[in-house]
Structure 1
Amino acid sequence: MSTTLTRARPGTPSPPLRRLGHLLVRRRRLVLALAALGLVVAGVLAAGTVPRLSLARFEAPGSESDRARAELAARFGTGTPDLIFLVTAKNGTVDDPAVAARGRELTARVAAFGGVAEAASYWTRGASPTLRSEDGRHALILVRVPGDADHVRGTVLPALVPRVVGDDALVGVRAGGGEEVFRQTVPIARQDFVRAELLIFPLVFVLLWLYLRRVVAALVPILAGIFAMAVGLALLRGVLPFADISTFALNLTLAMGLGLGVDYCLFVIARFREETRLGRDRPEAVARAVEHAGRTVLFSGLVVAASLAVLFVLPFDFLRSFAYSGIAVVVGGLVAAVLVLPALLASAGGTFLLKRERPASDTGFWHALATRVMRRPLLTGGAAVLVLLVLASPFLGLEFGVADDRILPASAPARQTQEVVRGAFAAEETDAVQVVSSAGVPQGYPAALSRLPGVAQVDSAEGVFANGNRIGAGVPARFAPLPGKDGGWVSVVPSAETMAGDPADLVQAVRDVPGPDGRLVGGYPAQLADYRATLVDRLPLALVLMLVVTFALLFAMTRSLLIPLKATLLNLLSLGVMFGAVVWVFQEGNLSGLLGFTPTGTLDASIPILMLCIAYGLSMDYEVFLLLRIKEEYEKNGGDTTAAVAAGLQRGAPLIGAAGGILALSFAAYATAQVTFVQMLGVGMAVAVLVDATVIRAVLVPALMRLAGPLNWWPSRPPRAAATTPPR
């Protein structure tokens, strides 16, 4: 066993983090008491945070569709329906007198319900064919409930839906529509996360015990994860007065809290054990663990937080919520690993050590693997890159689309309703594109819109049009402006086939048709199109910021220009594999039977962008650890990069493998979810972590560093061989 240690220069002060370690050792009882008190306070604040989290919509504030929505409400007192009731005749058709009377009575009852601004149906809207199924057995009641998502989904719909849904001798009534779909998504997603966490905790404990071989050592990282979750939610309590935080941020807090708590604590515990094996006494071992592993953890936390912070440049509360929650849980993880854990090691460090510590070896499997890779870096590195590019290739077929009811399990009532609507109705009345203008609607404009491919019919004050022809009078009063207002509007109803594809194409086609001055195009398809367009427009800025900030942090850590560039390229490669897996599974439908979801042939843009930021930050987690380990060996051996890489991999790879496996398992547990968004996050993140912790770190890092040689550390100068002294 090597017992050589770097000798400090006479009169040289200890590094700041080592001094912090010694302070934590001296004040360990105070630190632990404050941590216990802080956990209690954080728990109380966290419990108050959860009910204050908000529901969110996919909207682009200030966009054309957002302005159209405001104009429709202000000038005409109307807008996009939030809810539908599917009325099914038990016998005959919805045109039978008794069923029609029952339908009108239901419509009136819904319209009179508190919080409902308007309700219309097949029987009150001139027997519009878009509101009647092709076989005549079903008809729709459309309901508009104004207000934010919390009011609609949290107050009105829970009271209204149970009073209307049900069966009698004449009809059966079921609820659906966008707001009802997402209202049902939240509790199911929350159940998914709770069930996954209950599965994860015992599995993570077993894996930690297999790696650390001590019960206390295996338990503490899990407790650190709980501490990180509590602190993260407590910090969000301070943000809530100034920003809306989505309820889905709670799910991210649970997922990342445990993962980061385990990762960061493993780094510190492993370094403490290593320093102890070298003959350090416990206080010095703790201090040096804080100095080296603490530095790794701090840089890693900064990189993860910076990656998530780029979500702030996107003008959507839904995505910004994940930035707030992610950064907050990183803070909790840092406090647990860098401040609380060292004090615990100083107090009870013996319970973290093996009874028979194996001597650390400078050679072994990982050293031999790194040596073999670096003998033929072009061959081994090229083969690894080729394999990863093949795995990433499905990403080239990425198609963005609309998230709909199929994110829910088949047993969800809202999805069952929407399945009937999708299969039995020729058009999607609830997804109409609305065109509003303060200058009114010129004659011939509705007919021109009805000629567009994918349009089932156009409703207007002039009449109902299909394929350029007037097919009915419609309900002209529906398009009359409010008293004292002027202008006009039309409703462009898309076919079911159009909504099954990408409705953004129809929105653009409507906007391209010459029309009245000052017109605004809105409605649900336009909202989704504007949301995606804003997201795509801002995404390059977010990516540039993420790359620049993480490059700067890695440069500050390594004083090298090439290493941050190499790390960035490798991380992008692992992200490519992650997105390749997501497209292959969730867009193309492979493994859909095993995972139990329904593929739609497209992906919603929001979740992949969230995954991009999380995965990029977590990938840098292992990059930072391995680079600092290699840099430490490089400075110790006097500037031999090849030897430093082999030694760094030998000392760092087992820990990276264990931490990566545990983190991947934590995310993979979410593949058991019923909501497709949650499954996508779990599968994608597990793939990214596994690829990063294995092929990237074990093969490509040594291959590229061997090819670069001395340029790895440019513009820094090679260090001199370090003097040594036996351990104290």
Structure 2
Amino acid sequence: MFERVAELAIRRSRLVLVITAVAVVLMGALGAGAFGKLLPGGFDDPSSQSSRAKAVISDKFGGETNLVLLISAREGGVDAAAVERQGAKLTADLKNEATVANVISYWDTGSPDLRSENGDQAMVLAHVKGGDTDERENAKAIIDEYTGAKEAGLTVEAGGSAAVGDDMGTFSSEDLVLAEAIALPLTLLLLLFVFGSVVSALLPLAIGLIAIVGTFAELFLLGSATSISITATNLTTALGLGLGIDYALLMVSRFREQLATGASVDDAVRHTVHTAGRTVAFSAATVAVALAALLVFPQYFLRSFGYAGVGVVAIAAISTLVVMPALLKVLGHRVNKGRLPWAGRARRDGSREPFWGRLARTAMRRPALTALPVLAVLLLAASPLLGITIGIADERSLPEDAKSRQVSAQLEENFHGSDAAAIHVVMDRAVGRAPLATYAGELSRLDRVVRVEASTGTYTDGRAAAPGPGNAALGRPEAQRIDVVSDLAPMSDAAQELVRDVRAVAGPAGAEPLTGGRDAALVDSKDSITDLIPLAGGLITLTTFLLLFLFTGSVVQPLRALVLNIVSLGAALGVMTWMFQDGHLSGLFGFTPQPMEVSMTLLMFCIAFGLSMDYEVFVTSRIKELHDEGAGNETAVVHGLGHTGRIVSAAACLLAVSFFAFGTAGISYMQMFGLGSGLAILIDAVAVRGVLVPAAMRLLGRSAWYAPPFLRRVHDRFGLSEGGPAPAPATGRTYEKDPTGV
């Protein structure tokens, strides 16, 4: 296959580039509309009890409250005549909006629960229609029209999940623009430093941009057919730019290395595609496998990253394998044009970097002395994982100046038990008044429950009061709804425990109570994800092991790679837990400490694991190439790392820049994802590839390439390798015998 790709690039290079240019224009036209198709949210399991409860409430009761308008009166309080007139008018206007339902306010119900304890604020609760597709657009229109300074000294601010989703989308778009503005110029500067020539530096950047444009087109198409999270655009930019540069960097370096040995341009292209191209293909497969595991989760937030991740990896790899050889053929020796003053011979011809070879030799000759301190530091960095707690994204992920977050804080501080944060219990069938009253009374006896609202009345400590103005709306001939209001902080551990307590109370005979609301959705989402993590982890481990076995022909190499990757990932995750959960450096980065966001933590693990395997393939492919040519263990490792160490470290720095740029994000879970992924990449490239891999190879010796005879036969038949030998390089190699004897 790789020979055919090389020959296509050599014989039809200009045609390939013309077709590519046309494809990029078409993909760009499609990708420009991606943001209009993507959605906020997506953290809920659609098959969970809370999602089913939400569907019943939407179908039978007009929908859950997802928008809270907080009205503040500067003078006279909310009961002043002028304020009351304006509040009633705002409520009436909101009820006339076609995109709004279930509008309830303090002024049309008189409910003291919708009035702040000091009387200066009141709430208007509403449900913005539209589901996942149109909710954000509808909410934004309502928020823009109704918030701000009003007559009679009123100020209106928006909160609730719809407002939080709108702010999330706004900050996500702003974060993406800022990250690109930081990453692109820094990446170009680093490429110029690595290659030492302008032309060579621009080639990887071109592949990265193709990968980004292509994946935005993919997101537009997928977003037209299914729910895709808007946050997937951030991954597309970081991973597309990084992987495109990684793969192109490997190809360009190998091509320049071949030219430097005296090979013709055509032979250099053939050898580059056969060696570096093969590495890119297998590397992309390992990254795609790790990201594909996200597709087992039902939340479209996680599935979106699976779609975007697999897409960007595939497009980056295909572009590198098809477009890059054509570019190299057309450029030929001009690939070194635009030489910069600081460029030395090593940067121009891709020759071996002495530092990485010396480091590998030191690690192999003194494995314990070099590896044990590194392992100790990594294990220490991983130790905060012993106290990790997990949660899902809420308004605390937003900056402190986000309006929806400020409203949530005021509701929690100024109102005694907010209906907006209530636990909703629904029964999708007729229920008698007596059984319903008994059930609601039992719920009101639960610890920390302030009151329970049902169509039969309001209950406190098991005692019923007369139904209020809003209670009748909680009953239907064919369904019943109960709101359980507590004084607990939303999303807290105690609030989640209350959800479990509510679910443990037996419902009326013949009814199936469904428990919903924000806290119930959190409980269900966490349970759903944690239940599926073993399956996702098993799939990643199994497929990665299989790919690495087919690539190396050894059963030991995949095990060694998996163990070392887990160590480096544990260190990166531990540092992120130390920061974002325990609160260290929160002042510097401007985030609020909270439990680790489960979806982004899982995503970071999959991304970092895939990229670790990316560099594993980079290094192992060169070591195996030398081993297959007859080099001994130490020589293969030392020379292999000597050739690939600079490429891997440069690629890691370039990719880390793309992720670190999100450290400037306004959304804290994007900060955590960007900083954690970048740190994991650097740890893997320096500590694992530079020290732990050569030390492990020295300790394993010849057994590093072991496989049972029957698996050897399997590899000989199905191994991922070319059927014929690679085109010979312009100069041969000779190897000295390893001092270690292996």
Q: Same fold (TM over 0.5)?
A: yes
For the residue of structure 2 that corresponds to 1:568, the secondary structure is helix
Structure 1 position 157, deviation (Å)? 3.6
Number of the residue aligned with 2:580: 586
Structure 1 position 657, deviation (Å)? 0.8
Aligned residue identity for 1:534: S
Number of the residue aligned with 2:545: 551
For the residue of structure 2 that corresponds to 1:598, the secondary structure is coil
Structure 1 position 668, deviation (Å)? 0.6
Greater Cα shift, 316-325 or 118-127: 118-127
* Root-mean-square deviation (Å): 2.4
Aligned residue identity for 1:703: A
Q: Residue 486 of structure 1 is aligned with which of 474, 478, 495?
A: 478
For 1:491-570, list aligned pairs within 5 A. Answer: 491-497=483-489, 499-501=491-493, 503-516=495-508, 517-570=511-564
8 Å CA contact 2:288–2:313 kept in 1: the answer is: yes
The 1-side partners of 2:151 and 2:586 are apart by 37
Structure 1 position 694, deviation (Å)? 0.6
Aligned residue identity for 1:636: E
Does residue 117 of structure 1 match 2:111?
no
8 Å CA contact 1:277–1:357 kept in 2: the answer is: no
8 Å CA contact 2:391–2:596 kept in 1: the answer is: yes
Number of the residue aligned with 1:435: 425
Aligned residue identity for 2:388: L
After superposition, the C-alpha distances for 1:189-232 in whole angstroms (9 at most, x for unaligned) are 11111111111111111111111000111112111111111122
The 1-side partners of 2:29 and 2:494 are apart by 45
Structure 1 position 17, deviation (Å)? 1.7
Does residue 52 of structure 1 match 2:37?
yes
8 Å CA contact 1:586–1:603 kept in 2: the answer is: yes
The 2-side partners of 1:520 and 1:622 are apart by 48
Number of the residue aligned with 2:621: 628
Structure 1 position 281, deviation (Å)? 1.4
Number of the residue aligned with 1:399: 389
For the residue of structure 1 that corresponds to 2:597, the secondary structure is coil
For the residue of structure 1 that corresponds to 2:525, the secondary structure is helix
The 1-side partners of 2:491 and 2:605 are apart by 27
Number of the residue aligned with 2:401: 411
8 Å CA contact 2:128–2:138 kept in 1: the answer is: no
Greater Cα shift, 302-311 or 120-129: 120-129
For 1:170-181, list aligned pairs within 5 A. Answer: 170-181=153-164
**Cα distance, 1:447–1:295 mapped onto 2, change above 3 Å:** same
After superposition, the C-alpha distances for 1:497-531 in whole angstroms (9 at most, x for unaligned) are 35444532111111112222321111222122212
Q: Residue 187 of structure 1 is aligned with which of 170, 174, 193?
A: 170
Moved over 6 A (4+): 359-363, 716-719, 722-726
For the residue of structure 1 that corresponds to 2:390, the secondary structure is coil
The 1-side partners of 2:352 and 2:59 are apart by 74
Greater Cα shift, 90-99 or 332-341: 90-99
Structure 1 position 479, deviation (Å)? 4.4
Number of the residue aligned with 2:275: 292
**Cα distance, 1:572–1:434 mapped onto 2, change above 3 Å:** same
**Cα distance, 1:487–1:124 mapped onto 2, change above 3 Å:** same
Aligned residue identity for 2:532: R
The 2-side partners of 1:97 and 1:504 are apart by 41
8 Å CA contact 1:465–1:472 kept in 2: the answer is: no
The 2-side partners of 1:521 and 1:500 are apart by 17
Greater Cα shift, 649-658 or 363-372: 363-372
Does residue 204 of structure 1 match 2:187?
yes
Structure 1 position 148, deviation (Å)? 1.1
For 1:255-266, list aligned pairs within 5 A. Answer: 255-266=238-249
Number of the residue aligned with 1:617: 610
The 2-side partners of 1:480 and 1:500 are apart by 26
The 1-side partners of 2:727 and 2:171 are apart by 61
**Cα distance, 1:723–1:419 mapped onto 2, change above 3 Å:** closer
Greater Cα shift, 422-431 or 248-257: 422-431
8 Å CA contact 1:79–1:523 kept in 2: the answer is: no
Aligned residue identity for 1:533: D
The 1-side partners of 2:727 and 2:195 are apart by 32
The 1-side partners of 2:579 and 2:165 are apart by 23
After superposition, the C-alpha distances for 1:244-303 in whole angstroms (9 at most, x for unaligned) are 222222222111111011101100011112112222111111111111110111111111
**Cα distance, 1:171–1:54 mapped onto 2, change above 3 Å:** closer
Greater Cα shift, 144-153 or 353-362: 353-362
8 Å CA contact 2:271–2:729 kept in 1: the answer is: no
Q: TM-score, normalised on structure 2?
A: 0.90
Aligned residue identity for 1:298: A
The 2-side partners of 1:199 and 1:649 are apart by 31
Unaligned runs of 5+ in 2: 717-725, 733-742
The 1-side partners of 2:637 and 2:589 are apart by 40
After superposition, the C-alpha distances for 1:353-388 in whole angstroms (9 at most, x for unaligned) are 377734777682222221221223234322222211
**Cα distance, 1:174–1:160 mapped onto 2, change above 3 Å:** closer
**Cα distance, 1:725–1:716 mapped onto 2, change above 3 Å:** farther
Does residue 670 of structure 1 match 2:627?
no
Does residue 690 of structure 1 match 2:673?
no
Number of the residue aligned with 1:281: 264
After superposition, the C-alpha distances for 1:670-725 in whole angstroms (9 at most, x for unaligned) are 11111112211211111111101110111111111111111111127999xx9999
Q: Residue 127 of structure 1 is aligned with which of 100, 111, 114?
A: 111
For the residue of structure 1 that corresponds to 2:391, the secondary structure is coil
After superposition, the C-alpha distances for 1:116-142 in whole angstroms (9 at most, x for unaligned) are 11111223334233x222222111111
Number of the residue aligned with 1:27: 12
**Cα distance, 1:83–1:55 mapped onto 2, change above 3 Å:** same
Q: TM-score, normalised on structure 1?
A: 0.92
The 1-side partners of 2:579 and 2:628 are apart by 45
The 1-side partners of 2:301 and 2:610 are apart by 19
8 Å CA contact 1:161–1:175 kept in 2: the answer is: no
The total of aligned residue pairs comes to 705
8 Å CA contact 1:87–1:173 kept in 2: the answer is: yes
